[in-house]
Amino acid sequence: MTEYRTLRVALLGAGAVGSQVADLLLKHGDELADRAGATLELAGIAVRDLDAKRDVDLPRELFTTDAETLIVGSDIVIELMGGIEPARTQVLHAIASGADVVTANKALLATHGSEVFEAADQVGAEVYYEAAAAGAIPIIRPLRDSLAGDRVVRIMGIVNGTTNYILDRMDTEGADFADVLAQAQELGYAEADPTADVEGYDAAQKAAILASLAFHTTVPLDAVHREGITSVDAAMIESARHAGYVIKLLAVCERLTAADGSESISVRVYPALVDRSHPLASVHGANNAVFVQAEAAGDLMFYGAGAGGVQTASAVLGDVVSAARRHIAGGVGVGESTRANLPAVPIGHVITRYQITLEVDDKPGVLATVAGILSEGRVSIATVEQTVIEADENTQTGGSARLVIGTHKAREQDLSETVERLAASGVVERVVSVLRVEGN
């Protein structure tokens, strides 16, 4: 066996991911040393409660409640506590102590990323976060390094496993949101409080991280437009299927170019219609995928497990090996490139296609009225399908009709104003749904 220099590794947190990271560090030590060119010594594991139940049996003597002392003298600090505090304080403490940091903490990076990266830049430390964007899927290095010579035009990501699991089961079984959510909670695919997932908060944090990397721009979390999937019902899924679409919760990060050549970006999370022939449509269950369109490289897709303790641990350990190599090789960190500094536009400026589903009076002239309102609103119709849903048995008139309108590309603000005008027009009984269509 080769003799390597020893690097001291501190682990903060021993939850689903942390306990797997500790286990793999201890089990595969020799192999990791060969990869890293350094022996990785797990110096300790900081936890809140020494007696909490862990997913994996780990040597008791490694545990401590004193994160601050553990960090001092460590070469690499792995932060897997989650949440903003005390994670933020400990990460900044680690950087100030001269350690490189590996974190899977998307909430921290999406809200305090600039603070953390600037602190690291000032002392020449590096912050690794492959596990923060799409779980086990290697997406950070491809975006930061492999595509560094290219220009990313658009990212469409399925970056939340819980919501993909729910939407996928609704799609395959025709089941309703509440039923599938309850089952997902039973099976452990959804938390007892599912808000972070189903309302799109988790996806929005990941979108901010991906957009920052892809566009070399600091994207604050509040620049991300966010809608969840709680309003998606079985009828919407069925109607999407009928039109050749599937509904996915997408994180869309887009580069926009104005007529004068100036650039901006849009970052948004919402349930969207995706064509069934699109690679993203075949991402099933709790899997994640990130579809990237770049000017030169064309279409790329990265697919895999977006969550899970041991899967995410793989991404964390890859970062640990990278940090170790950097420690051994010397050299200062690359730092995050945010020189492009593109402004993020509000959702109203976004241009995409829409599917509008309306319940209208089934009488002559209604379609003309609806078409007129759309045209006035600068929303151009691509497809229309009208079906009678509730005709009066005697007169065959006076019932309702369902109108599904597919639009050409329109500006979100024009679209939403037009939908308001439709709702107030007198001929529209109900706006059933308005969904964006993504992916060309």
Quick check: 83 binds a second copy (CB under 8 A)? no
DSSP 397: -
Least distance (Å) between residue 415 CB and a second copy: 32
Least distance (Å) between residue 150 CB and a second copy: 4
Quick check: 308 binds a second copy (CB under 8 A)? yes
Least distance (Å) between residue 342 CB and a second copy: 12
Beta strands in 144-243 (DSSP E): 152-158, 224-226
Q: Work out which of 305, 356, 405, 435 binds a second copy, going by CB under 8 A.
A: 305
Least distance (Å) between residue 234 CB and a second copy: 24
Quick check: 154 binds a second copy (CB under 8 A)? no
Least distance (Å) between residue 94 CB and a second copy: 19
Spell out the alpha helix ranges (H) of 135-200.
140-141, 161-173, 177-186, 195-198
The SS3 assignment for 6 reads strand
Q: According to CB under 8 A, which residues from 350 to 409 bind a second copy? A: none
Nearer to a second copy, 139 or 224 (CB): 139
Nearer to a second copy, 148 or 382 (CB): 148
Taking the alpha carbons of 89, 92, 96, 102 in that order, is the dihedral positive or negative?
Answer: positive
∠ CA 381-386-392, rounded to 5°: 145
Strand partners, 154: 254, 293
Stretch that binds a second copy, among 179-187, 305-313, 375-383, 417-425 (CB under 8 A): 305-313
Taking the alpha carbons of 200, 201, 202, 205 in that order, is the dihedral positive or negative?
Answer: positive
Least distance (Å) between residue 121 CB and a second copy: 12
Quick check: 246 binds a second copy (CB under 8 A)? no
Nearer to a second copy, 216 or 436 (CB): 216
Quick check: 3 binds a second copy (CB under 8 A)? no
Report the b/e string of 85-116 with b at 16+ CB within 10 A: ebbbebbbbbbebebbbbbbbbbbbbbbbeeb
3-state percent helix, strand, coil for the chain, nearest multiple of 5: 40, 30, 35
Nearer to a second copy, 331 or 365 (CB): 331
Taking every pair of Cα atoms in the chain, the longest distance, rounded to a whole number of angstroms, is: 91
Beta strands in 113-257 (DSSP E): 127-128, 152-158, 224-226, 245-257
Parallel, antiparallel, or unpaired for β 245-257 and 263-275? antiparallel
The SS3 assignment for 266 reads strand
Quick check: 303 binds a second copy (CB under 8 A)? yes
Quick check: 314 binds a second copy (CB under 8 A)? yes
Stretch that binds a second copy, among 114-122, 146-154, 158-166, 343-351 (CB under 8 A): 146-154
Parallel, antiparallel, or unpaired for β 39-46 and 63-64? parallel
Distance of CA 149 to the CA centre of its chain: 24
Instruction: Note if 248 is an active site residue.
Output: no
Nearer to a second copy, 24 or 207 (CB): 24
Catalytic residue (choose from 27, 53, 106, 206): 206
Binding mask 34-73 for a second copy (x = CB under 8 A): xxxx------------------------------------
Residues forming the active site: 206
Binding site for a second copy (CB under 8 A): 2, 20, 24, 28, 31-32, 34-37, 130, 136-138, 140-142, 145-151, 216, 279, 282, 294-305, 308, 310-311, 313-322, 325-326, 329-334, 337, 339-340
